A and B are shown apart, each in its own frame.
Chain A
């Protein structure tokens, strides 16, 4: 909202992940004293910067009439302008008066008109109306007796979904005029936002969340086993996949399913070490392709995916299989029971001739384990020619590996077979639709919403799996703006049973 050089400092609490998405967990997250303190720290640094001598001409819309007397009119103008943007709606009279009063009192105590504005701005930035998104409803003229979201609440939903940010002035204008309640008005804003470069930020934020890259915060690799997995490589690995996702889905408007097979990717020098690929660019990123002769293709063979779902010192077909089912197929794989004896697996990790497939086979003699491993391992074992840090390996403990696997009855071999199998699997785009919809509405799906998902899957499919088309369909759907306890009204009948346990 302010210039990019206005510093925003402060740390925020670790987000709560719920059913695979932080976007959903957020609606149940709590506000601790710590985070409020951090917001206050940010608020003060932002407000000081905005009202500083160097920047006030840029940000303050008027000049005080007097050096000493409080200029209430100018303060009101400032409060209304920024209050409207921060609260994402016009301030009420009481709200405006409250912050103007703060400005006046602060000026009196501390001297200086801009000191007053500074504290009025801090007050707005510390307010729950800014820090929390609150939906407001109003009577729906089209359905007497029912309510609908008001224009500003719609604008907020739309803006966070399509740009991962607060509504811009044009969207607030459309909210104020009621345009967002009309189909054409809404469509015009959706098209405008979809065409803006900020869509990339929204897609990036969504995939960061969906791919659970917050897991890198706790990821550790043994440097004696994986020397190339450095702090820089870990950071760049995430960026590589997000860049690939954004350039493929947004910039090139590509088919979502092709993310699992595309050879196009991005590399930096720290990653070149892990991929054993030269990277000419000394300082930054370059687009590249996994060579046709290599074992890699698709984001499943990116270091980010392979390393995140491995152990500190070895790969894990089980973790890899679990993440693929949960992240890309929206299936839930139960955690192992607490009393499993892993020694069979552990003891053999470095034994000559031992492979993960053999170790897991021993482990799966136990029927308690076999049930879940049947879900995970046939997928994960196909990636076994990548070690726990995502590096390529031809052999494990001196022997070649059997990379055969299966998904939903389809047999395939190796990482490229796996990528192809996911590309071909109808559950993959359906899962993306579900995750994106849940992320957009910021909560779990209510039973009656299943038909909405079916509708969206259909739209996604008919667009040949173009993500912007899916985002458009969601943004234009009535259910996206539904007032929650009325979802049943907004939606059509026929209800597929939502298998809650299958979601992740």
Chain B
């Protein structure tokens, strides 16, 4: 006998409680993707990677003087100007130490990547790339690929305390690992739809069974709201349906040629060259779905980069070079910091150079670029420079500068995880702990 009153009240179950937060978007994501998909009927995977450079920056040469989208491109970011719209510059976010002793170059890097400050390499939580890999790295040949351009086998990718995932340091070795033995033509792959996705889709169809019956009992305004609900469920179903389709064919893919043997060391000319080759190989590997997660260490966090015939490394210069009184900063250290951004451009170029669907690989990648400290000579972990570059398949908004004003750097890590579909509501420990999504970045 029960029937819905014509004007009965609908009320979200989360009402009232402290579940405010969160924002209405991601429809954009659905639209963008939905369009691309409707046109091609293809599924394009999304990739995540980190790009790390050591020894921070010269603030006045890197931080835009204003926030929002109309900032003037600072000198050291000029190489990346072409990607202005695909780049979010994040300044002024702190790794909050809460009194934890700062192990120079390490505490900042790992604090940023795990949300928990540690006085050494014994991380208290997996690094963000590992968390991402658990969600999006399944089903590819490599769970993730770690690369280092300056000859050091280290990486800042930790599943737990103890052993970081080692980096590949030579372009040739990288080539052999990806395209050597065991490599299969991506387009020859046999696709088996994920049964779990099939079940999820059938659950949503079952949930929608009630639609007709419910709608009949509702008044017009409630009917509209209920209709919104069912439409949303339908959209979710369509996305699952897509996952049951074979992945998009990799367009125009040919196995790249093996790179020549190069000198692997920390001399910056060699590093730039190796880095560029590795970026190109990695981009190819991403394009043909060998992996979806990567970590590129351009220079070690205590930057070992050096100029030819000089015994000074970028790192020692940050400590030993006097401040140029005219410029107000250390001139040679600043040169390395500027070169790091040129290298970043090289890396982004490699991603943007691969066509994918109606866009490029960069459009389907979220690249999280960051350093280990802000001002290297003080090992400052406040305001570590960070950038989010790429479209992540429409999951992030870019094209702006956001000043963190000493807010927790974990907000960035939280936000990009949420953008990429990691189920996380809050992240970090102590003063880093946050549940506040960066709304500028993630809808």
Contacts and interface: CB of A to CB of B under 8 A. Distances in A.
B423 interface: yes
B407 interface: yes
B225 interface: yes
A147 B1 CA distance: 11
Interface string B172-190: 0000000000000000000
Nearest to A209: B16
A23 B23 contact: no
B134 to A, nearest CB: 13
A286 interface: no
Interface in A11-58: 11-15, 22-23, 26-38, 40-42, 44-45
B411 to A, nearest CB: 10
A77 B143 CA distance: 40
Interface string B414-442: 00001001011100000100001100000
A138 B1 contact: yes
A136 B233 contact: no
Contacts of A139: 1
Contact of B406 (A130, A205, A223): A223
B19 interface: yes
Contact of A131 (B13, B202, B221, B407): B13
Contacts of A217: 20-21, 436
Interface string B1-27: 111111111111111111111111111
B235 interface: yes
Interface residues of A, number: 78
A123 B20 CA distance: 24
A11 B16 contact: no
Given A136-B2, A136-B4, A36 B233 contact: yes
Contacts, number: 203
B408 interface: yes
Contact of B236 (A40, A129, A206, A209): A40
Contacts of A102: 199, 202-203, 206
A30 to B, nearest CB: 5
Contact of A37 (B2, B19, B198, B236): B236
B232 interface: yes
Interface in B348-394: none
A443 interface: yes
Interface residues of B, number: 65
A232 B96 CA distance: 12
Interface in A102-133: 102, 105-106, 109-110, 119, 122-123, 126-133
Given A109-B199, A126-B203, A22 B22 contact: no
Nearest to B239: A37
B229 interface: yes
Contacts of B15: 15, 22-23, 26, 133, 160, 442
Given A14-B22, A27-B9, A119-B199, A206 B16 contact: yes
A134 B8 contact: yes
Interface string B114-133: 00000000000000000000
Interface of A: 7-15, 22-23, 26-38, 40-42, 44-45, 98-99, 101-102, 105-106, 109-110, 119, 122-123, 126-139, 147, 150, 160, 164, 166, 201-202, 205-206, 208-209, 214, 217, 223, 230-232, 439, 441-443, 483-485
Interface of B: 1-27, 30, 195-196, 198-200, 202-204, 206-207, 209-210, 214, 221, 225-226, 228-233, 235-236, 405-408, 418, 421, 423-425, 431, 436-437, 443
15 contacts: A10-B425, A31-B229, A34-B25, A34-B26, A38-B22, A98-B206, A105-B199, A119-B203, A126-B204, A134-B8, A137-B2, A202-B16, A205-B17, A214-B20, A441-B9
